[in-house]
């Protein structure tokens, strides 16, 4: 278009700043007047005024929730954000991010932010083509808090799947300020934790394509480089050390290949280095990470130090109560299954194998199996490899054979033996070839059979052994003690019960110390369980014998305890030889239950010497960290206290220990739900006692069922 001289003059006299604002909205032009990005609060106030939203006090948040305007308010913000996605409107987006960050302090409003997919707009900042990299700092802060206030596992996973690859790419190249770098590490830690949680609840594992899209191998490489101080521009800080080690621990849980496939055994050696470090919390993270590298992580699978199982049992009723409720609601028998159904997983592997041997006597075979379960194997070799040929007359027993054995025992009025056989058959199927997709069914069936047996035969030790087998939690220690007091507790069952109790204590010690905040009651309890390990192992070895499978595992548990406490009674050569001998014995005989501890400890022996030399700079950096010195004092204080709280007592302490991020020094922490401990101004009181508050009916019902009912006898309230 041809311009006149007057028009050209007007254009030439327009300032560059004025030209930049052409086509901007009134909101964008006003935000543009703020001179420095450091004044984001001023930009936020402008956005609030234009949108006619007030969130400056907790009363403002409460007014929004009580008036039912959550969707409307978040909708206005979403509309404004979508209208200002251009890079030149970055100031408007920055103000919106600050506004959203404050809204996420309230879990009810955070849920609405998720529902309207505002997280997509925030994550767009991480896209290298967005032109909005100047907003990474406010974006990562709000994403961290959104992860903390996620309403459920499904939402957490959705955000993690979208955010993990973007976060990894930004983190691997980020050279900005240390605080934002730390928040990026924290965000990645939340995402990997969310992915790991979903892995426990889905039967179908992620496809290779889905795994590759997450870029977890790149994440592992970036984190190990940071931990090894291989990035001179980014010296290792104490807070970063803890987040990195925590993330690597969960990364090994979710995608072990990301750790294993790092070149030159870097992933494995990183965990060995953490085990050799001066911090007990970091040592436990390293040990748990090494175990995670060799565990299958399927729900119901047998493993040592299962971080999710240890977290799930806190203060909650045993799983068998839940199984009974679910089966009763579906119209099934809540107290038992047909044995053929229980062994469905095993039948899928054995249906094409040899049929029942002609010489098979179900009654005699049943008695032999019960004898083995109650009094133990005839020799140490049978403790390592199940004597199927001697017990059943075949190396591949079928589900039909187990059913016939149970029937034969009941026909002879041997009901106790028949119930022992039912539980033993499930354990056998679980150990020998269960189809992965059906392991959970076997696991729940085993729990239910053990609980039914203990209820029906309260004076028989075998069912208490079944109750505590590979379980973590203080209630299982109590049941173990009950089993030891039974008059029919044989030396073999006493050894098995003590063995399970020792594993339980190590699992609780490692998971509490690796996962929980320092100085919390959970962390202190982990220290005390670790202190009890030497005596528990010694007691178990008196019954188990050094040559049995249990004896070899106890040998490895003793070595692990020495590493975690840094109390070693033998020189390194003798220590490593004892580990190698025990691990080799378990591996060569195919002791399937103990694969991860044998593999993890073998790796430690293999890489210990080279790690001690090559990672010496990391150990020096760690020794100079103030927080590690403080941790040593806290550890010594907890070690001297012999009182060990039970899980139910620890659960009550969680609400006192729960911490929520606040962004202003004078900003009050919002009230918390009495069940889920999430913060919101939308709580409603129990109508009877008015002592507790809930964020929804789901939390109210769960609290009523699992603890509040004895404290407040009243009808369920309407929330």
Task: List pLDDT tens digits, range 63-72.
Answer: 888 888 889 9
- Residue 210: φ, ψ to 5°: -65, -40
C-beta separation of 151 from 107 below 8 A: yes
Given this model, what pLDDT does residue 185 score?
96
C-alpha distances in Å from residue 198, one per residue of 116, 152, 157, 202, 301: 22, 11, 7, 6, 16
What's the average model confidence in pLDDT over 699-703?
Answer: 73
Neighbour count for residue 573 (Cβ, 10 Å): 8
What's the average model confidence in pLDDT over 343-354?
Answer: 50
DSSP string of 625-659?
-HHHHHHHHHHHHHHH------HHHHHHHHHHH--
Given this model, what pLDDT does residue 327 score?
54
pLDDT value at 362 more than 70 = yes
pLDDT value at 347 more than 80 = no
Query: Which residues have CB under 8 Å from 433's CB, separation 6+?
Result: 345, 346, 349, 350
pLDDT value at 457 more than 80 = yes
Output the average pLDDT for the chain. 80
For the chain, what are the domain ranges?
26-301, 302-313+471-645, 339-470, 648-711
C-beta separation of 284 from 623 below 8 A: no
pLDDT value at 538 more than 80 = yes
Instruction: Look at 710 and 457; give whichever has higher pLDDT.
Output: 457
Query: Which residues have CB under 8 Å from 40's CB, separation 6+?
Result: 94, 95, 98, 138
C-beta separation of 670 from 693 below 8 A: no
Given this model, what pLDDT does residue 419 score?
94
Given this model, what pLDDT does residue 302 score?
61
Given this model, what pLDDT does residue 715 score?
47
C-beta separation of 670 from 658 below 8 A: no
C-beta separation of 601 from 583 below 8 A: yes
Given this model, what pLDDT does residue 409 score?
96
C-alpha distances in Å from residue 340, one per residue of 337, 347, 386, 426, 482: 8, 8, 21, 10, 31
DSSP string of 412-442?
TT-HHHHHHHHHHHHHHHHHS---GGGHHHH
pLDDT value at 536 more than 80 = yes
Given this model, what pLDDT does residue 345 score?
45
Nearest to 554 by CA among 600, 604, 495, 603: 495
Burial class (CB in 10 A: 0-12, 13-18, 19+), 715: exposed
Rg (CA), the chain: 30
Given this model, what pLDDT does residue 321 score?
59
Given this model, what pLDDT does residue 266 score?
94
The kind and range of the H/E element at 5 are helix 5-13
Burial class (CB in 10 A: 0-12, 13-18, 19+), 617: exposed
Q: Please name every residue paired with 693 in a beta bridge, in sequence order, or none if there are none.
A: 685
DSSP string of 436-485?
GGGHHHHHHHHHHHHHHHHHH-TT-HHHHHHHHTT--SHHHHHHHHHHHH
Most confident of 242-251, 442-451, 567-576: 242-251
pLDDT in tens, 467-510: 998 888 888 899 999 999 999 999 999 999 999 999 999 999 99
Instruction: Look at 146 and 297; give whichever has higher pLDDT.
Output: 146
What's the average model confidence in pLDDT over 225-241?
Answer: 83
| Cα three-residue angle 229-231-233, rounded to 5 degrees | 115
Nearest to 612 by CA among 281, 275, 294, 288: 275
Given this model, what pLDDT does residue 5 score?
45
pLDDT value at 86 more than 80 = yes
C-alpha distances in Å from residue 108, one per residue of 61, 62, 190, 666, 682: 10, 10, 20, 22, 7
pLDDT value at 2 more than 70 = no
C-beta separation of 61 from 106 below 8 A: yes
Long-range contacts of 33-41 (CB under 8 A, 24+ apart): 34/91, 37/91, 37/94, 37/134, 40/94, 40/95, 40/98, 40/138, 41/98
Q: Which CATH architecture has domain 26-301?
A: Alpha Horseshoe (1.25)
pLDDT in tens, 162-212: 999 999 999 998 888 899 999 999 999 999 988 887 665 554 567 788 888
Number of H helices, E strands in the chain: 40, 2
What's the average model confidence in pLDDT over 269-290?
Answer: 95
| Cα three-residue angle 701-313-204, rounded to 5 degrees | 90
3 state DSSP class of 664: coil
How would residue 35 be classed by pLDDT, with cut points 50, 70 and 90?
low
pLDDT in tens, 366-410: 999 999 999 999 888 888 788 989 999 888 888 788 889 999 999
C-beta separation of 202 from 153 below 8 A: no
Given this model, what pLDDT does residue 565 score?
94
Given this model, what pLDDT does residue 413 score?
95
Given this model, what pLDDT does residue 210 score?
82
How would residue 329 be classed by pLDDT, with cut points 50, 70 and 90?
low
pLDDT value at 242 more than 90 = yes
What's the average model confidence in pLDDT over 708-714?
Answer: 63
3 state DSSP class of 248: helix
Q: Alpha-carbon distance 87 to 79, whole Å?
A: 17
Given this model, what pLDDT does residue 559 score?
95
What's the average model confidence in pLDDT over 551-563?
Answer: 94
Residues shown for the chain: 719
């Amino acid at each position: 278009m041809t311009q006149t001289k007057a028009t050209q003059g007007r254009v030439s006299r327009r300032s560059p700043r004025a030209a930049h604002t052409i086509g901007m909205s009134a909101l964008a032009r006003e935000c543009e007047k703020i001179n420095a990005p450091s004044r984001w609060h001023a930009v936020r106030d402008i956005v609030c005024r234009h949108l006619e939203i007030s969130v400056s006090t907790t009363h403002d948040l409460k007014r929004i929730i009580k008036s039912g305007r959550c969707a409307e308010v978040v909708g206005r913000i979403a509309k404004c954000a979508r209208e200002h996605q251009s890079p030149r409107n970055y100031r408007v987006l920055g103000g919106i991010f600050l506004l959203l960050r404050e809204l996420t302090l309230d879990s009810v409003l955070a849920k609405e932010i998720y529902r309207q997919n505002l997280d997509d707009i925030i994550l767009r900042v991480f896209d290298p083509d967005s032109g909005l990299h100047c907003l990474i700092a406010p974006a990562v802060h709000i994403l961290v808090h959104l992860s903390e206030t996620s309403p459920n596992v499904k939402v957490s996973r959705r955000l993690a799947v979208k955010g993990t690859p973007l976060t990894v790419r930004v983190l691997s190249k980020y050279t900005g300020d240390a605080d934002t770098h730390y928040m990026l590490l924290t965000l990645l830690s939340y995402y990997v934790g969310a992915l790991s949680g979903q892995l426990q609840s889905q039967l179908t594992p992620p496809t290779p394509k889905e795994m590759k899209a997450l870029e977890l191998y790149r994440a592992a490489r970036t984190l190990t480089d940071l931990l090894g101080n291989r990035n001179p521009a980014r010296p290792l800080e104490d807070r970063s050390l803890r987040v990195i080690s925590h993330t690597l621990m969960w990364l090994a849980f979710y995608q072990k290949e990301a750790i294993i496939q790092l070149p030159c055994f870097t992933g494995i050696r990183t965990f060995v280095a953490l085990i050799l470090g001066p911090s007990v919390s970091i040592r436990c993270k390293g040990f748990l990470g090494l175990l995670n590298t060799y565990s299958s992580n399927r729900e119901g699978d047998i493993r040592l130090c299962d971080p999710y199982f240890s977290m799930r049992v806190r203060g909650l009723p045993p799983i068998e109560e839940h199984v009974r409720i679910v089966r009763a609601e579906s119209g099934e028998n809540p107290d038992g299954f047909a044995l053929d159904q229980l062994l469905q997983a095993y039948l899928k592997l054995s249906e094409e194998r040899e049929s029942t041997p002609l010489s098979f006597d179900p009654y005699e075979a049943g008695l032999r199996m019960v004898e083995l379960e109650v009094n133990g194997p005839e020799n140490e070799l049978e403790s390592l490899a199940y004597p199927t040929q001697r017990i059943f007359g075949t190396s591949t027993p079928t589900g039909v054979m187990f059913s016939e054995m149970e029937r034969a025992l009941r026909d002879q009025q041997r009901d106790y033996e028949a119930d022992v056989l039912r539980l033993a058959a499930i354990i056998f199927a679980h150990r020998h070839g269960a189809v992965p997709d059906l392991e959970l069914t076997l696991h729940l069936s085993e729990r239910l059979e053990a609980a039914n047996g203990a209820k029906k035969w309260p004076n028989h030790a075998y069912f208490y052994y079944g109750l505590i087998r590979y379980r973590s939690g203080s209630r299982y220690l109590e049941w173990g003690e009950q089993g030891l007091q039974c008059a029919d507790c044989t030396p073999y069952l006493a050894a098995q019960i003590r063995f399970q109790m020792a594993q339980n204590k190590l699992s609780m010690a490692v998971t509490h110390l690796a996962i929980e905040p320092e100085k919390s009651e959970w962390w202190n309890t982990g220290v005390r369980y670790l202190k009890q390990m030497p005596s528990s192992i010694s007691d178990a070895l008196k019954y188990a014998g050094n040559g049995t499978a249990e004896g070899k595992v106890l040998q490895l548990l003793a070595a692990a305890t020495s590493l975690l406490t840094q109390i070693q009674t033998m020189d390194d050569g003798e220590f490593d030889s004892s580990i190698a001998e025990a691990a080799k014995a378990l591996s060569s005989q195919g002791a399937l239950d103990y694969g991860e501890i044998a593999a993890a400890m073998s790796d430690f022996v293999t890489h210990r010497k080279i790690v001690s030399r090559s990672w010496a700079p990391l150990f020096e950096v760690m020794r100079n960290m103030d927080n590690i010195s403080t941790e040593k004092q806290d550890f010594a204080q907890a070690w001297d206290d012999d009182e060990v709280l039970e899980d139910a007592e620890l659960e009550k302490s969680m609400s006192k220990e729960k911490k929520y991020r606040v962004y202003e020094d004078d900003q009050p922490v919002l009230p918390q739900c009495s069940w889920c401990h999430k913060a919101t101004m939308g709580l409603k009181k129990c109508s009877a006692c008015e002592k507790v508050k809930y964020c929804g009916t789901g939390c109210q019902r769960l609290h009523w069922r699992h603890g509040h009912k004895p404290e407040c006898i009243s009808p369920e309230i309407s929330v």
